[in-house]
Amino acid sequence: MTAQLIDGNALSRELRTHVAERAAVLRRRGVTPGLAVVLVGDNAASQVYVRNKVKACEDNGLHSVLEHYPASLSEAELLARVDALNRDAAIHGILVQLPLPPHIDAQKVIESISPAKDVDGFHVASAGALMVGQPGFWPCTPYGCMKMLESIGYDLRGKHAVVIGRSNIVGKPMALMLLQKNATVTLCHSATKDLKAMTLQADVVVAAVGKRNVLTADMVKPGAVVIDVGMNRIPAGEPGEGKLCGDVDFDGVREVAGYITPVPGGVGPMTITMLLVNTLEAAERL
Ligand code: NAP
């Protein structure tokens, strides 16, 4: 079997068209959905991510401001900036790019964002809302994965979903979203004893670890849906060195799986798309 590709670029284009249409409706009512992106320090990867987020806003009719501060910014100064953005009527969504420099308590900063503007979905109020099934902002990456499953018409009811990775921003919310759609969910992590025994039972596998080849062909049930969240670089000395790759051995697993997401061009663009969706919804809720 050669798996069908779930193309995150194509799906993103489609969803961003809807975002642009809804943003135009809001603008006609005098409201331009606005996202503030706050970056502290000079982390190279973070600079690329924030540029992509700001550009995606501009391309789809959302207003965005990028506030870039030196790594020496104090925690108190950052909290004061977030407070000002909480009170800024032109801003509907606030995103503080992680990681923050070590002298700043990232969780404290996230908790200072108004839950009504928490478009990253990292605030405890957002996490709690997801936990109990109340409306709230869903973290963009797992939300994007759910949209990918929806795009292939996949009915999760009664299916076994295995999530590898239990971070607060991907693995845990992913498990809760799958559970909400009536999947039976297994959440694996670094202390899981026999990962292969788990994944071989899975109708859906979501890999969110940050290590190459965590999921290989011998670990996948024929016909399973495989979603690859991982973002890694191929090390020097290996074919394709320096290129982006996921957690899944794509070439091997595509011969066994029913559906698979590529890296790049899979979950990555969907994450930014769901940030636009959340920002738009934050503006529509007002
Ligand atoms: P993270 O916070 O480092 O969490 C990684 C998780 O993987 C942890 O729960 C860890 O277990 C688990 N793990 C580590 N080694 C394992 C192993 N051998 N077997 C099973 N589980 C193992 O990472 P994250 O923020 O969730 O991100 C995960 C990956 O997704 C990274 O590559 C990141 O770059 C990528 N990512 C991509 C997007 C996107 O838009 N495409 C967005 C966010 C993240 P413990 O909890 O036991 O340590």
Domain boundaries, the chain: 30-115, 140-267
Q: Could you report the average pLDDT of every consecutive run of 10 residues in the chain (286 residues)?
A: 95 98 97 98 95 97 97 98 98 98 98 98 98 97 98 98 98 98 98 98 99 98 98 94 97 98 98 98 94
**Atom of ligand 1 lying closest to residue 210 CA:** 32
3-state secondary structure of 127: helix
Ligand 1, atom 40, residue with closest C-alpha:
268
Question: What is residue 95's predicted lDDT score, i.e. its pLDDT?
Answer: 98
Please compute, for residue 123, the number of CA atoms within 13 A of its CA located in the half-sphere on the CB side: 20
- Identify each DSSP E strand in 183-286 by its residue range: 184-188, 204-207, 225-228, 232-233, 244-245, 259-260
Q: Please give the distance, rounded to the nearest whole angstrom, from the Cα atom of residue 26 to the centre of ligand 1.
A: 37
Mutation test residue for ligand 1: of 120, 148, 189, the one with most atoms within 8 Å of CB: 189
Q: Which of 53, 117, 159, 221 is catalytic?
A: 53
Site of tokens 């994007």: 144
Mutation test residue for ligand 1: of 168, 190, 199, the one with most atoms within 8 Å of CB: 190
Catalytic annotation present for 120:
yes
- Six-digit token pair at 147? 């949209």
Cα gap 197→71, rounded to integer Å: 44
For the chain, how many helices (H) and strands (E)? 10, 11
Q: Please give the distance, rounded to the nearest whole angstrom, from the Cα atom of residue 216 to the centre of ligand 1.
A: 16
Q: Which of 118, 120, 203, 228 is catalytic?
A: 120
Question: What is residue 159's predicted lDDT score, i.e. its pLDDT?
Answer: 98
Question: What is residue 209's predicted lDDT score, i.e. its pLDDT?
Answer: 98
Same fold across 30-115 and 140-267: yes
Catalytic annotation present for 134:
no
The model's pTM is 0.98
Residues with CB under 6 A from ligand 1: 141, 164-167, 169-171, 188-192, 195, 208-211, 214, 229-232, 267-268, 271
Ligand 1, atom 16, residue with closest C-alpha:
190
- Identify each DSSP E strand in 17-139 by its residue range: 34-40, 63-69, 93-96
Question: What is residue 195's predicted lDDT score, i.e. its pLDDT?
Answer: 98
Ligand 1, atom 4, residue with closest C-alpha:
167
Give kind and range of the element (H or E) at residue 143: helix 140-151
Question: What is residue 270's predicted lDDT score, i.e. its pLDDT?
Answer: 98
CATH top-level class for 30-115? alpha beta
Report which of 201, 131, 203, 200 is spatially closest to residue 172, judged by C-alpha positions.
Answer: 131
Catalytic annotation present for 88:
no
Q: Please give the distance, rounded to the nearest whole angstrom, from the Cα atom of residue 195 to the centre of ligand 1.
A: 15
Q: Are 177 and 208 in contact (CB under 8 A)?
A: no
Cα gap 94→82, rounded to integer Å: 8
Ligand 1, atom 24, residue with closest C-alpha:
167
CATH top-level class for 140-267? alpha beta
Report, in angstroms and rounded to the nearest whole number, the Rg of the chain calculated over CA atoms: 19
- How buried is residue 195: exposed, middle or buried, by Cβ count under 10 Å (0-12/13-18/19+)? middle
**Atom of ligand 1 lying closest to residue 232 CA:** 32
Mutation test residue for ligand 1: of 170, 233, 261, 270, the one with most atoms within 8 Å of CB: 170
Ligand 1, atom 39, residue with closest C-alpha:
268
Question: What is residue 286's predicted lDDT score, i.e. its pLDDT?
Answer: 81
Question: What is residue 75's predicted lDDT score, i.e. its pLDDT?
Answer: 98
Please compute, for residue 191, the number of CA atoms within 13 A of its CA located in the half-sphere on the CB side: 1
